[in-house]
Each structure stands twice: as C-alpha cells, then as structure tokens.
Amino acid sequence: MSKDEWLTAIGMTVDEIPEKIILEGTWWHKERYPVRLEYLTKVRELKFPDMYLGEYEGSKVMFCCAYGASRAVEPVHIFGVLGTKKVIQIGSCGGLQPNIQTGDIVIPTTSFIGEGASQYYGQLVSSTATQGLVESADRALINFGLRTFIGAHISTSALLQQSDEEVEKWQQRGLLGVDMETSAVYSAAEYFKMQRVSMLFVWDELLNRRTWLDEFSATETLKQSEANRSIFEVALKL
C-alpha cells in the first residue's frame, strides 16, 4: 500500500505523521494504556485498534501495545511507509546472565532472530539497533539510577516453550536477555531505514528459574515498577 492509502486506512493526515513511534510488548493492554497515555496531550485512537496518536512536548508520537513479533512489525511497517524516522521498543525480558537481576535494564545492540517475522524484512540471523540511540538511552537510564546492560540478546516466538537447556545455551553464548519483539522490530525498522532501539526491564531471572509467574518481594516489585516507568519516560525524550 502507498503512503496515501495508509493515511486513509488509519485515519491520519500527512501533517499528523509522528516523528517517532513507541511500541510496548505486553499482554496487559488495559493496565498500560491509561498510564502511558497520561503523558501525552491531544490523544486520539487511530482507525486501527490499539494505535494512539498524541503529542509530547510539542512532538507527535504514536503509542501502541503490540505483543509478539508478528504484531509488533505491523505498526513499524505502516509508519515506515509513512516516513516516521524513529522506533522505540519497550517492554520486559528474561535475564540470561547471573549478574542481571529483576528490575535491571537490557538495551540490545544486536538481537538474534528466533521469531518468524524478520525473514520478511530481509534478516535471517540477527538485527541491530542504532548505536546513537543505544548510547542516548543508556545515559538517560543511568541518570534514573538504573543498572543497564548493553549487548547481544535474542527474541523468540514461544515464551512458554523455552526449555532450561535453551536458556543455558543462551547464557553460554553471552546473551543478556530474551523477549518476543526486539529482533523483529529492529529488522522491520532497518528495512524502512528508521532509527531504532529497545529498552527492556528484566522481569524473569531465568538462570534462577524465577519467572513472571513467581512471587517477588515488595522491594523487587518496586524496582520493576520504577524500571518500567523509566523506560517509557526515556522513550518519550529520545
């Protein structure tokens, strides 16, 4: 579809094309949208569900909760055609190294591809972030008092089918974390020549067999919450 066709399909004018889009990989749409959209002004939902256009400090932003690789590439594709220049992925991940704890932040420079969407955007092995955005995100998150880890990562399509053996292999390869969107978002964004970065707060400590289904202490839960808030606030300013 052409730029004009996509503008008509999602109910936007050319003057409303945002400078960046922020995607959040999460199941919890009902909880996330009210919290995230509070930061924006002039908010309205586009014709496509779960896509919200607004402004932050005078700049146009589109925010969308998009869980999983196949869903996450759709807004990247649409806004890539429209000419949006920047994609920020946020969400949670499982930590894969013993020194990475729940509430820390992983910023993938490279994400290995374990999902099925990237191949349609020309990537088969891995996809990469924009280095300048990685550095800017890292500085901003450190200023929030958060611990950040920068390096290689992996994205898969089967959260519930990750075996202990796979987790151990990922750890031995030096991978920092695992999520379900980053490699696909990087691949689609690169295809459309968009700047891109992912900031993920660590929820699971997979080497310790602690997952999002387990109970965390009040201190750990607060740390997760602060990390989750911070990655969105940084995304707005990048």
Angle (nearest 5°) at CA 210 between 204 and 214: 95
For residue 59, the domain's CATH number is 3.40.50.1580
pLDDT digits (tens, 9 = 90+) for 205-232: 888 887 777 788 999 999 999 999 999 9
**pLDDT tens, 8-31?**
999 999 999 999 999 999 988 889
Strand partners, 92: 201
3-state secondary structure of 214: coil
Beta-carbon count within 10 A of 11 CB:
14
- Please provide residue 105's backbone torsions phi and psi, each rounded to the nearest 5 degrees: -120, 130
Contacts with 90 (C-beta within 8 Å, 6 or more apart), sequence order: 22, 23, 24, 25, 198, 199, 200, 231, 232, 235
Question: Which residues does 54 contact at the CB level (< 8 Å), separation at least 6?
Answer: 37, 40, 41, 42, 43, 44, 60, 61, 62, 63
Q: Are strands 86-95 and 20-25 parallel, antiparallel or unpaired?
A: parallel
Q: What range does the domain containing 184 cover?
A: 3-237
Instruction: Tell me the pLDDT tens digit for each residue of 38-50.
Output: 999 999 999 998 9
- When divided into structural domains, the chain yields a total of 1
- pLDDT bracket for residue 161 (50, 70, 90): confident
1-10, 183-192, 214-223: the lowest-pLDDT one: 214-223
In Å, what is the CA distance from 143 to each residue of 105, 131, 137, 138, 148?
13, 19, 10, 9, 11
pTM of the model: 0.96
pLDDT of residue 185: 98
